[in-house]
Amino acid sequence: MSDVLKVGTAEAKPGDLSKGVIKGVELNTSDRIDIPVLVMKGTQKGPTLLVVSTQHGIEIQGVEVIHKVMREKVNPKDLRGAIIGIPVENPLAYMHHQYLSWIDNQDLGGGGSASPLTADKPDGTATERLAYALWQEAWSKADMVINIHCNTRPDSLIFQEILVGNPKTKDALWKMAKAFGVTTVVDDTPFEEDSPPTLANLVAKKGVPDLLMELIDGRWISEPSTTAGIRGVLNIMKAFDMLDGEVEPQEGFPIIGGACKWEGVMRANRGGLIRFLKVPGEFLRKGDAFAEIYDLYGEVLEEVTMPIDGYIWAYPCGDILGTPGSMQTVQTGANIAYYFTSSEQK
């Protein structure tokens, strides 16, 4: 086995931090849009951790986390194993400040669709080709994945989601989540081995744990997301013996304990501006009003109430061009709030 870790054009020998690109797609100007990648190889043996951000083009907090971890916090001389960092997984979405690829309106990770975009099509659409290149060059080389997303303003809650319905990855995912140390949403839907080959399903089939992170204030580089993200990634590396040191508890933002469960989306029945009356992470009883929709005269049109006892994790507001959270306004049917319950709630 070679001692060189090669990802796209980046090559790292033991002790190196190297940069390069995964070859992307060509625009009609014949300019190529590639995917920048950082690769760090430790001087001792250990697992390969892949940290990716900005699968959705407006969710940029993870970019800073990857830069700080790989350029400041980890010295390859202290590292057992390797880190592959991809700050912007979908440059086609990022370049147009859009959630999805502007060129074909597709989601690189296959999220939110009955027929999700898969990573097995080298001759597919532009975004399918990016997914294929990411699988070939990066995801298929990982022993562990941290996939950093973000919710948007206002006041969302930092959380992580683990899919524990796959016996091959369940224990490692719990270990990653406990080490990262934020509110944990648990989905125990059984994993189907014949699931469509999205990036996430391909690693799940191999038994590679893939932790989904949701930082907050996704359009910006800001606290507490930067510190929480860096601390969480380093904690996972410590827990899996890639680095020396103790796991540090997360602090400075709300953390809901227990195994949390995603319950649903609240949608607007009226259109207008929206004001929020409660902060995500606050325990709410069924029937508590948490938002008001009002018109351009200032009249309240709808009081939005909690459907069950539980918590709100984010206020995505209205969608525009497939991009949630564009403005503090909603149309009929807009997703206003994501809500969840905890195994430890009263």
Q: Which range, of 76-84, 149-157, 261-269, 333-341, touches Zn ion by CB under 5 A? A: 149-157
Residue 152 or 166: which CB sits closer to Zn ion? 152
Residue 41 or 149: which CB sits closer to Zn ion? 149
Residue 82 or 145: which CB sits closer to Zn ion? 145
Site string for Zn ion, 27-56 (x = CB under 5 A): -----------------------------x
Q: How far is the CB of 265 from Zn ion (least distance, A)?
A: 15
325 binds Zn ion (CB under 5 A): no
- SS percent in the chain: helix, strand, coil, step 5: 20, 30, 50
Residue 98 or 341: which CB sits closer to Zn ion? 98
85 Rama sector, left if φ>0, alpha if ψ -120 to 50, beta otherwise: beta
Q: Record the tokens describing residue 212, joined without a space.
A: 């989904």
Residue with the closest Cβ to Zn ion?
A: 149
Strand 10-12 and strand 5-7: the pairing is: antiparallel
149 binds Zn ion (CB under 5 A): yes
Site string for Zn ion, 52-71 (x = CB under 5 A): ----x--x------------
Q: How far is the CB of 57 from Zn ion (least distance, A)?
A: 9
Q: Which range, of 8-16, 143-151, 167-175, 194-202, touches Zn ion by CB under 5 A? A: 143-151
Residue 57 or 76: which CB sits closer to Zn ion? 57
Q: How far is the CB of 97 from Zn ion (least distance, A)?
A: 14
Number of Cβ atoms within 10 Å of the Cβ of 1: 3
Q: Record the tokens describing residue 235, joined without a space.
A: 């904690």
**Rounded Cα distance, 152 and 83, in Å:** 27
Residue 58 or 306: which CB sits closer to Zn ion? 58
Q: How far is the CB of 207 from Zn ion (least distance, A)?
A: 24
Q: Tell me, what DSSP letter sits at residue 284?
A: B
* Burial bucket for residue 336 (CB in 10 Å: 0-12, 13-18, 19+): buried
Q: How far is the CB of 161 from Zn ion (least distance, A)?
A: 11
Strand 335-342 and strand 259-267: the pairing is: antiparallel
Mention every residue, 6+ apart, whose C-beta is less than 8 A from residue 220. Answer: 60, 61
Residue carrying structure tokens 């350029």: 71
Backbone angles phi, psi at 260, to 5 degrees: -95, 155
Residue 37 or 60: which CB sits closer to Zn ion? 60
Residue 99 in 3-state DSSP?
A: coil
Cβ–Cβ < 8 Å for 251, 92: no
Q: Which range, of 113-121, 132-140, 147-155, 268-276, touches Zn ion by CB under 5 A? A: 147-155
Cross-strand partners of 19: 38
Q: How far is the CB of 335 from Zn ion (least distance, A)?
A: 14
Question: How many positions of this chain bind Zn ion (CB under 5 A)?
Answer: 3
Residues that bind Zn ion (CB under 5 A): 56, 59, 149
